[in-house]
């Protein structure tokens, strides 16, 4: 059985301008440009934290691989040539990284629960069975976000992202399917008002660890390329 590691870091406070610049300089310039594309500073910081999580993992397991070695599929899904799979997501006050030391396909999605959301506005992405399940649920918002994060994580694992019609993703009791292909999902408990799921093409176990912001920064060394 495959093992997928999940790291989470809290993103509730913005860095000071000096700290922001010093930590941004820890990643390659091409990755800095991707961070700076976000409009809001909190989203920029979330993007940076995800890349720093990934940078730390690479430094632990791969001597000759760095963020400079990221490649992209035609759907712009990032990957490395090594036996290593990863995916990053962020929402609200959390950033999460899922990774595996093999070439299994995997995706992760985290969403903060918004109880002011009009669930009916998402009917186009839900099957009839899913709509009924959410409507009859004791906690409909939790159930909706469970459904959403599974579908989003699968789309990221598949690699086509939003190119997959979410209504074509079917959530069954023991597996998730798209185009007659079976996928497997597990939830990750991050915080009470968040829902998070990992999806992979293999049956897997999850090991989740929280990373403190200061611990994340301790092992960082400057990158100037």
100-116: per-residue pLDDT in tens?
Answer: 999 889 999 999 999 99
Percent of the chain whose pLDDT exceeds 70: 96
Strand order of the β-sheet with 204-211 is 85-91, 94-100, 2-10, 204-211
In words, the CATH class of domain 2-218 is alpha beta
Whether residue 214 contacts residue 16, with contact meaning beta carbons closer than 8 Å, is answered with no
156-208: per-residue pLDDT in tens?
Answer: 999 987 788 899 999 988 999 998 899 999 999 999 999 999 999 999 999 99
Residue 225: pLDDT band (50, 70, 90) is: very low
Residue 115, phi-psi category: left (phi > 0), alpha (psi -120 to 50), beta (remainder): alpha
Whether residue 42 contacts residue 49, with contact meaning beta carbons closer than 8 Å, is answered with no
Residue 34: exposure state from Cβ atoms within 10 A (0-12, 13-18, ≥19): middle
Q: What is the mean pLDDT of the chain?
A: 92
C-alpha 24/C-alpha 140 separation (Å) is 39
C-alpha 97/C-alpha 56 separation (Å) is 11
Residue 212: exposure state from Cβ atoms within 10 A (0-12, 13-18, ≥19): exposed
Helix (H, G, I), strand (E, B) or coil at 178: strand
Domain ranges for the chain: 2-218
Give the bridge partners for 96, in sequence order. Answer: 8, 89
C-alpha 52/C-alpha 23 separation (Å) is 9
152: tokens are 């989003």
Residue 28: pLDDT band (50, 70, 90) is: very high
Helix (H) or strand (E) holding 22: helix 17-24
Tell me what the mean pLDDT of segment 5-29 comes to: 93
């Amino acid at each position: 059985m495959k093992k997928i590691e999940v790291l989470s870091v809290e993103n509730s406070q913005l860095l000071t301008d000096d700290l922001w610049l010093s930590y941004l300089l820890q990643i390659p310039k091409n990755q800095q440009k991707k961070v700076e594309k976000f409009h809001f500073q909190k989203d920029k910081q979330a993007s940076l934290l995800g890349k720093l999580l990934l940078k730390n993992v690479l430094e632990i397991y791969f001597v000759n691989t760095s963020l400079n070695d990221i490649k992209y599929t035609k759907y712009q899904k990032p990957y490395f040539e090594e036996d290593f799979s990863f995916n990053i997501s962020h929402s609200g006050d959390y950033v999460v990284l899922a990774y595996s030391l093999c070439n299994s396909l995997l995706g992760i999605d985290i969403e903060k629960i918004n109880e002011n959301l009009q669930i009916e506005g998402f009917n186009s992405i839900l099957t009839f069975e899913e709509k009924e399940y959410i409507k009859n649920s004791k906690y409909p918002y939790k159930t909706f976000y469970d459904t959403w994060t599974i579908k989003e994580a699968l789309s990221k694992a598949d690699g086509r992202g939003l190119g997959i019609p979410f209504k074509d993703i079917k959530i069954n009791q023991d597996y998730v399917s798209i185009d007659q292909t079976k996928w497997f999902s597990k939830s990750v408990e991050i915080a009470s008002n968040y829902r998070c799921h990992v999806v992979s093409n293999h049956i897997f176990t999850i090991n989740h660890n929280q990373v403190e912001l200061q611990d994340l920064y301790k092992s960082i060394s400057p990158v100037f390329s």
